[in-house]
């Protein structure tokens, strides 16, 4: 389960911190925003459900 947990948590982090949006004036402003990677949502949900089923 440890390796599986690491993979699921890594994918969850990849989803949550998917990409960085930077304003047109660049990083000089010090502003940026992390936007979820919605392309991973279905796969992560599937992984969570599989992990729950295996550990019931």
Three-state secondary structure along 4-24? Answer: HHHHHHHHHHHHHCCEEECCC
pLDDT at position 31 is 82
Instruction: Tell me what the mean pLDDT of segment 23-45 comes to.
Output: 82
Whole-structure pTM value = 0.57
3-state secondary structure of 39: helix
Cα angle value 17/20/40 (rounded, 5°): 40
Q: Is the pLDDT score of 28 beyond 80?
A: no
CA separation for the pair 19, 27 (Å, rounded): 15
* Mean predicted confidence (pLDDT) in 33-54: 87
The answer to whether 11 touches 43, Cβ cutoff 8 Å, is: yes
């Amino acid at each position: 389960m440890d390796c599986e947990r690491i993979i699921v948590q890594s994918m969850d982090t990849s989803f949550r911190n998917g990409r960085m949006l930077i304003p047109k004036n660049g990083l000089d402003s010090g502003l940026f925003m992390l936007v979820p990677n919605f392309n991973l949502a279905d796969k992560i949900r599937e992984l969570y459900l599989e992990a729950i089923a295996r550990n019931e």
